[in-house]
Amino acid sequence: MPTTIQIAIADFLIKLHAEHRIVLEEGYLPFVQTTENNTVDLTIECFQHIPVLPLSDYELIFEAENNDQKFYSIYLSTLGFVFVIYNQQNKNEVQQLAVLNEDLSNWKIYSTPLDNGDIIPLKYPMGPIIMHYITVKSEAVMIHASCVVEKQKGRIFTGFSGAGKSTMSKIWADAGNTIVNDDRLIIRKLNENYYVYNTPMYYIDIPKKTILDSIFLIRHSPENNLKKLSGASAVSKVLAFCIQNNFDPNFIQNKLNFLSELSAHVPVYELGFVPNSSVVNFVLENETAGIK
């Protein structure tokens, strides 16, 4: 039975279609649109098999992996960009193949079906890959960060693993503030404003959106301290925490242009913090001044 589903992520409308039943992981369910819209930003065609492609004839241009796991590989072909997605429980098993056309407007996702014939086209890490590539051609970036809303002011906190993003979120939440997300966000420019959005996670959370007022690059410190950044320093340090596949110079330049404009309109700070409630008042009292 054909299935069509529309989901909205960061105000991007994504349409999925398959000749079989599509299953979404539970984190996507609050993002499903109940009314169909004919104007979509991205179409995804979903298939119930994994084809054999001549990968050895294609150019390998990117691999996402760490010491423990291979996440996906990207090949350049006459079809467009070919993604080989690996099973996160078995790194030697291909979970999906996906083809993204050259103008980044259409995906074809090929998945091994479940025993009952259903398919899960956005199964991790396919979903976040799609979210990243929808930002590549737009005035937007995806970033590993947390975002807190305090009196309608949106603050992003980002840093290297272990820098304290989740800790910072909990401190601000305990002070009565709203957490947009504490892991993966999209920043998007719309109508001259910069907005922060949460993205679907492995758990259920409602879609959230707030205007971005400031960005903090955080680290643990014996005392709270703050330094305002500008220019190339602000751009390069924020870029370090953005999700990126840097095989195409145009992708890189688009991201640099976006972050240059962003940092000219939204203040960027380095924040050393003591992991307790004192950092909340410290930020509120000092962020405008940008003290050292």
Domains of the chain: 3-136 (no CATH), 140-286 (3.90.228.20)
Query: Which of the four pLDDT bands, split at 50, 70 and 90, describes residue 1?
Result: low
pLDDT at residue 131, rounded to an integer: 98
What is the DSSP pairing of strand 42-47 with strand 12-18? parallel
Query: Which of the four pLDDT bands, split at 50, 70 and 90, describes residue 290?
Result: low
How far apart (Å, rounded) are the C-alpha atoms in residues 247 and 73? 12
User: Which residue is it, tokens 């991790």?
Assistant: 124
- Does residue 292 carry a pLDDT above 50? no
Average pLDDT, the chain: 94
- For residue range 113-147, what is the model confidence (pLDDT) as tens digits? 999 999 999 999 999 999 999 999 899 999 999 99
Q: Is the dihedral of CA 56, 60, 64, 68 positive or negative?
A: positive
How far apart (Å, rounded) are the C-alpha atoms in residues 200 and 213? 23
Please report the beta strands in the chain, taking only residues with DSSP state E, as ranges in sequence order. Answer: 3-9, 12-18, 42-47, 59-65, 70-77, 80-87, 90-100, 106-111, 140-144, 146-150, 153-158, 178-181, 184-190, 193-198, 209-220, 225-229, 268-273
The separation between CA 19 and the C-alpha centre of its own chain, rounded to angstroms, equals 28
For residue 211 the two structure tokens come to 């205007």
**Would the pTM count as exceeding 0.75?**
yes
Query: Which of the four pLDDT bands, split at 50, 70 and 90, describes residue 162?
Result: confident
- Mean pLDDT of all residues in 146-154: 94
For residue 90 the two structure tokens come to 């078995």
Contact call for residues 105 and 120 (beta carbons, < 8 A): no
| Spatial CA neighbour of 109 closest among 47, 55, 54 | 47
Q: Is 130 helix (H, G, I), strand (E, B) or coil?
A: helix
For residue 30, the 8-state DSSP code is G
The CA-based angle 224-225-226, given to 5 degrees, is 135
